[in-house]
Structure 1
Amino acid sequence: MQTRTQVQVLRERYEQVRRLTVDICQGLETEDYVVQPTADVSPPKWHLGHTTWFFETFVLKPHCPDYHPFSEDFDYVFNSYYETIGRRVVRTDRGNLSRPTVQDVFRYRHYVDEKLYQLIELASADLLTEMSPIIELGINHEQQHQELLWTDIKYILGNNPLFPRFLNSQHPDTTDRYSDQGFLSINSGNYEIGYAGPVFSWDNEHNRHTVYLQQFEICTTLVTNKEYLQFIDSGGYTDFRHWHSDGWAWVKTHQIQAPLYWYYWEGEWLNYTFDGLRAIDLQAHVCHVSYYEAYAYANWMGLRLPTEFEWEVAAPKMQWGQRWEWTESAYLPYPGYKRPAGALGEYNGKFMVNQQVLRGASTYTSPGHSRITYRNFFQPQARWQFSGIRTVRP
């Protein structure tokens, strides 16, 4: 028999995470839910539906024989990239989904939540044991989309010519000034890398293995807007010598002159934030830079970016969690990595090419969703995420 505590803990954790997703959307107007200004950004309505579809597809349908889907169309509408599941709306067309309506999507969330609560309450101990890891994966999946909601809402509003404020009570404290800037020295030697523990972790954090590191020194603080502005003022975006070839081509093709959301207006740099267009806060950590820009800045300084292994070894002695930090490491499998079977095996493994690893977390990472072994990853040109820079010297 399942214990009442097991059911209660699982239900409360699920309910808390599902509520936070809805709370993040407080302050949005109906029109905001359907906008998709670029391919990387998904409309908030789609995030609300996709995270619900995940629980419907991987928990309710396989484990509840009498479950009736809310809509047969939603497999097609809210599947993201799971080839195993079947056809899906092309990612760039998510902003064309005027239907289902926002109200339909909220009804869908309520419907699936109620069915899942019923399933948890009635499940046998064996069934609960079978479902719990999948529900936990779905919870962590939704937490990822909560941060994506913040990033995508910012991109939607930050590309509105009116630069509107986003008034939301869930807005985290973004005070991010650290003192005592300096470099932390790490001795050469063998170090254990990767996750080993009893709580949830992603498959790409396994297997724990040994790496050898040369001695290095890593900066204890992130690069600030003031420091990055010096790079801009020195002609950093006009000197090819600081850039990778691909990065330099990206700068020229897209006429990049500054981090995302920076605007030069009447002799002054301005920055779009959730509070609207503001003067650059020089003491805040630079944000919304690509790997290309992070590499160029470090190169300009005569420094480099850390590898993900250097970052993981140094992290217990550093302050981190304000920005996702670009590393010099390509996103590759650890030794002995095996992609899980079935559709859930598509979650991480198939993206291990042409991506760069970011470590840490940001102020918009959901509570309880960060750890030292966490491996985030994006293409080197991506910068709509809350990404920053930490440097290393030999």
Structure 2
Amino acid sequence: MSKFSLYPVTLNGSDIQKKREEIREYFHNTNMIFEKVFELLESDEAFYMKSEITRHPMIFYFGHTATFYINKLINMKIIDERINPDFESIFAIGVDEMDWDDTESKNYAWPKVQDVREYRTKVGELIDNLIMNIPLTLPITQESDMWIILMGIEHERIHIETSLVLHRQMPLEYIKEVSGLTPCLKVADAPKNEMVTISACEVNLGKDSSHNLYGWDNEYGKESLHVDEFQASKYLVSNSEYMLFVEEGGYENEEYWDEEGKRFLDITSAKHPTFWVLENGEYRYRTISKIIDMPSNWPVDVNALEAEAFCRYKTQKDGVSYSLPSEAEYGAITLHVKLKDIPEFDENSANLNLNNFSSCPVDKHNFGGIYDVVGNVWQWSSTPIHGFEGFKVHEAYDDFSVPTFDNKHALILGSSWASSGNLIMKHSRYAFRRHFYQNAGFRYVVSTPHVEDEIDIYESDELVSQYCEFQYGDEKFGVENFAIACAKLASKFATNKGKALDLGCATGRATFELAKTFDEVEGLDFSVRFVQVGSKLKNDGYVAFHTYEEGELFTNKKITLKELGYENLKEKVSFWQGDACNLKPNFNSYDLVIATNLIDRLYSPRLFLDTISEKLNQDGILILTSPYTWQESSTKKEFWLGGYRDKEGREIKTFDALKTVLGDKFELIHTQDIEFVIKETSRKYQHTVAQATVWKKIEL
């Protein structure tokens, strides 16, 4: 076991106090490593540098993992109070190149590094206390409060690795050497690669809910596949083996690159891997904190586009068809070497769990005839990540997996030297865009040509499909489309029509409808599963979804931007993920805020009402619609605005509460009922009547 990084705790046991202590030790070990990694930054100035243009400056990531705990605990109603609402807003999201990730620096006033350090300390004290005191039964399940703590710990483990990559991309003048974060020093000539035969087999992917280690939602479920006999490279591709591709003009020859690869070359002007440095006509190698002579026998660090280009080059050169392995083929390799479900490796058996702070020779760690089946660097695959049969989103983190089910994120397999926690588990599944850099390289295979199925991101998501039908489907029983009706109401009462916010936008229909009369419309929802529908309609020109008919039977539907008449509106709309009760500072200066069927689904509706006036211009209009269906699964009962009797037995109605709460900042100018119909199946519909209230901000 590594002395630096602990292995994950198991979910079962018989001694609850001992389990608390195990989790506590694991939490503090994770926090220690994370903060040690940020010691690499040479000064506070470096925290405000972007090492990669599509990412935030490093101060974001320093604060992000701490705010993650608070936001998830609030979301799951385990705690009621925030520590720092501003931090928990600006550090909340923005770690992938999604349209709803806002990485514009002008939208942020980043806090001082010391203030973030103090915040992290406060969060650490809170988590430490929760670990020792929240209700706990064993085994820990996905329904346990402690699961959310483990989620936060494993989330920080991910950011230990990704932060190391970003630090390695930082100019060296902003990085210093840190004691204990030392690279491997074993360098020699690289071995000649060769092929190993992997027998045909049945591969069973996925795990069930009884598994004894924490897992992300995409790991659960099942997928059984037959894999024909194939050959896999004995070693990961080394710097030496990849050097031939570079020296023989691999980056200049377009026939080795697909269209995405060509765009990557156009944007970056890359001529070699990003961690190679050309000095005086010779290639050298960038570790985290220094440039060293090229370690020929270490694995090359590349993105998926570069790995695929190499395979095309080698195919042309050898006359044999090489490719990246599929997820199933990698699974066959793990069966071939009898890889354990719960690996426990020391530095002599695998380069992972931060045993070293760099790669090491590709011929050091032998797994039954194939080297580095796990560890050293991640291995790019040809498989876009998707959900297995039985996949279910975990409600605490619905934007972990689903946004990557877009056929643009390729799985990386096997872990790296910087991987720890869940990242080193056999069942872990992580995916990145093919142009992203991670601590990732590749091995190649010769196998029966296969085409990865494209998975529609809505196919397994019944709720999203239902809302697509609700917003984009046909009218039912003569009831006008709800999104259209709400947009008409907003356009009628808005005094000015500059900028509007569609809050709780769901799949985005009203956002587009508002753009018919407003100059700019932002659609915002807490759930990325919804936000990505509107974003897809804007960027790809269509949405595809199921409409359920009976049991498991459904009809496929596809609606295009052109059919909806929105082609000339798409530049006026944008979609964002956000928390209505804690909006980022850049969401402001609106002439209209419309919150449709949202107020009775918020964890703190009073907080939302108390602060929403700050987001509106003078004479701005606020529209609320709701059927007032209060439920404790969304809002703790003590935070309900209405729908209950007080201590004296009097009925408390939501509309009366709205008038009381909003009365000193808004004038109520209109009320009306708006019906809507939601299809569940071809013979079952929800017919609901929402009350719409229109409020005008008054001058104070």
TM-score (norm 2): 0.51
Which residue of the partner structure matches residue 20 of structure 1?
33
Counterpart AA for 1:338: K
| Structure-1 separation of matches of 2:185 and 2:158 | 19
Q: What is the correspondence of 1:147-186 to structure 2 with a 5 Å cutoff?
A: 147-158=161-172, 162=173, 165-171=176-182, 173=184, 181-186=193-198
Q: 1:189 aligns with which of 201, 206, 219?
A: 201
Return closer, same or farther for 1:25/1:164 CA change in 2, 3 Å cut-off.
Answer: closer
| Structure-2 separation of matches of 1:211 and 1:183 | 23
Are positions 1:77 and 2:90 aligned together? Answer: yes
Which residue of the partner structure matches residue 85 of structure 1?
none
Shift of 1:229: 0.9
* Structure whose residues are more often strand by fraction: 2
> Residue 410 of structure 2 contacts residue 434 of structure 2 at CA under 8 Å; is this kept in 1?
yes
| Structure-1 separation of matches of 2:160 and 2:32 | 11
> Residue 307 of structure 1 contacts residue 328 of structure 1 at CA under 8 Å; is this kept in 2?
yes
Q: 1:370 aligns with which of 416, 419, 424?
A: 424
> Residue 172 of structure 1 contacts residue 364 of structure 1 at CA under 8 Å; is this kept in 2?
no
> Residue 327 of structure 2 contacts residue 383 of structure 2 at CA under 8 Å; is this kept in 1?
yes
SS of structure 1 residue aligned to 2:170: helix
Q: 1:359 aligns with which of 403, 413, 416?
A: 413
> Residue 202 of structure 2 contacts residue 224 of structure 2 at CA under 8 Å; is this kept in 1?
yes
| Structure-2 separation of matches of 1:140 and 1:233 | 40
Return closer, same or farther for 1:26/1:37 CA change in 2, 3 Å cut-off.
Answer: closer
Are positions 1:221 and 2:235 aligned together? Answer: yes
| Structure-1 separation of matches of 2:55 and 2:416 | 18
Which residue of the partner structure matches residue 111 of structure 2?
100
Shift of 1:106: 1.0
| Structure-1 separation of matches of 2:40 and 2:222 | 43
Q: What is the correspondence of 1:1-394 to structure 2 with a 5 Å cutoff?
A: 3-28=16-41, 29-59=43-73, 62=76, 68-80=81-93, 90-93=102-105, 99-125=110-136, 130-158=144-172, 162=173, 165-171=176-182, 173=184, 181-196=193-208, 197-287=211-301, 289-302=302-315, 303-315=322-334, 317=337, 318=370, 319=372, 320-341=374-395, 343-353=396-406, 354-366=408-420, 369-383=423-437, 385-394=438-447
Counterpart AA for 1:169: G
Larger radius of gyration: 2
> Residue 312 of structure 1 contacts residue 372 of structure 1 at CA under 8 Å; is this kept in 2?
no
Counterpart AA for 2:288: F
| Structure-2 separation of matches of 1:204 and 1:31 | 38
Counterpart AA for 1:108: Y
Shift of 1:76: 1.6
Shift of 1:163: 7.8
Q: Residues 26-51 of structure 1, C-alpha deviation per residue, up to 9 Å, x if partnerless?
A: 24221222211434444333222111
> Residue 185 of structure 1 contacts residue 218 of structure 1 at CA under 8 Å; is this kept in 2?
yes
Counterpart AA for 1:371: M
Return closer, same or farther for 1:340/1:70 CA change in 2, 3 Å cut-off.
Answer: closer
Shift of 1:91: 2.4
Shift of 1:218: 0.6
Return closer, same or farther for 1:181/1:231 CA change in 2, 3 Å cut-off.
Answer: closer
> Residue 43 of structure 1 contacts residue 152 of structure 1 at CA under 8 Å; is this kept in 2?
no
Counterpart AA for 1:292: L
SS of structure 2 residue aligned to 1:346: coil
| Structure-2 separation of matches of 1:115 and 1:163 | 32
| Structure-1 separation of matches of 2:328 and 2:186 | 28
> Residue 270 of structure 1 contacts residue 277 of structure 1 at CA under 8 Å; is this kept in 2?
yes
Return closer, same or farther for 1:377/1:111 CA change in 2, 3 Å cut-off.
Answer: same
Shift of 1:105: 0.8
Shift of 1:246: 2.3
Unaligned segments of structure 2, at least 5 residues: 1-13, 316-321, 338-369, 448-700
| Structure-1 separation of matches of 2:155 and 2:94 | 14
Unaligned segments of structure 1, at least 5 residues: 83-87
| Structure-2 separation of matches of 1:176 and 1:271 | 12
| Structure-1 separation of matches of 2:169 and 2:233 | 30
SS of structure 1 residue aligned to 2:434: coil
> Residue 326 of structure 2 contacts residue 381 of structure 2 at CA under 8 Å; is this kept in 1?
yes
> Residue 51 of structure 1 contacts residue 141 of structure 1 at CA under 8 Å; is this kept in 2?
yes
Counterpart AA for 1:299: R
> Residue 326 of structure 1 contacts residue 388 of structure 1 at CA under 8 Å; is this kept in 2?
yes
Return closer, same or farther for 1:63/1:13 CA change in 2, 3 Å cut-off.
Answer: farther
| Structure-1 separation of matches of 2:267 and 2:130 | 53
| Structure-2 separation of matches of 1:298 and 1:208 | 30
Q: Which one has more relative contact order, counting CA pairs under 8 Å at least 6 apart?
A: 1
Percent of counterpart pairs with the same letter?
Answer: 21
> Residue 41 of structure 1 contacts residue 155 of structure 1 at CA under 8 Å; is this kept in 2?
no
> Residue 324 of structure 1 contacts residue 359 of structure 1 at CA under 8 Å; is this kept in 2?
yes
TM-score (norm 1): 0.87
* Number of aligned residues: 381
